[in-house]
Amino acid sequence: MGVFAANAALAEAPPPSTWMALKPLPHQGRSAIFALAVDPANSQRLIAGSSDGSLLRSTDGGSTWTSVHSGASVSTAIVFSPYKPGMVLAGTRGGGALVSADAGGTWSVASGLEGRVVRAFAFSLTFVAAGTDKGVFISPDGSSWSQSGLAGWSIDALTVAAVHVPVRMIAGADGPLSTGSLPAFQSADGGATWTPLNPAISGTYVVKLAAGPLPLVGDVRPIVIGTNAGLFSSTDNGASFTPLSGGNQLPSTDYTQIAFITDHFDRFYAASDGGGSGAGGLWRTNDAGQTFISLVPPMRSITALAVSNDESPTLYVATFRPSDHVASLWVYHDTGGTPQGPFGSPAPVASGSRAAAGSPRNGVLDLLTSSQAPYVGLGLGALVVVLLAVVAHMRGRRG
Alpha helices in the chain (DSSP H): 3-12, 360-369, 373-398
DSSP annotation of 188 reads: S
Question: What predicted TM-score, i.e. pTM, was given to this entire model?
Answer: 0.81
Higher pLDDT, 370 or 112: 112
CB atoms within 10 A of CB 166: 12
CA dist 134 and 171 (Å) reads 13
The string of pLDDT tens digits covering residues 348-382 is 334 443 233 333 333 333 333 333 344 334 444 54
Q: Which of 307, 310, 309 is nearest to 318 (CA)?
A: 307
The string of pLDDT tens digits covering residues 154-189 is 999 999 988 888 999 999 988 765 556 788 999 999
Domain layout of the chain by residue ranges: 3-349, 358-399
Of 89-98, 214-223, 275-284, the range with the highest mean pLDDT is: 89-98
Confidence check: pLDDT of 273 > 60: yes
Confidence check: pLDDT of 14 > 60: yes
CA dist 318 and 329 (Å) reads 5
Give domain 3-349's CATH superfamily. Answer: YVTN repeat-like/Quinoprotein amine dehydrogenase (2.130.10.10)
Cβ within 8 Å of residue 291, ≥6 positions away: 285, 350, 351, 352
- pLDDT at position 177 is 56
CA dist 236 and 351 (Å) reads 25
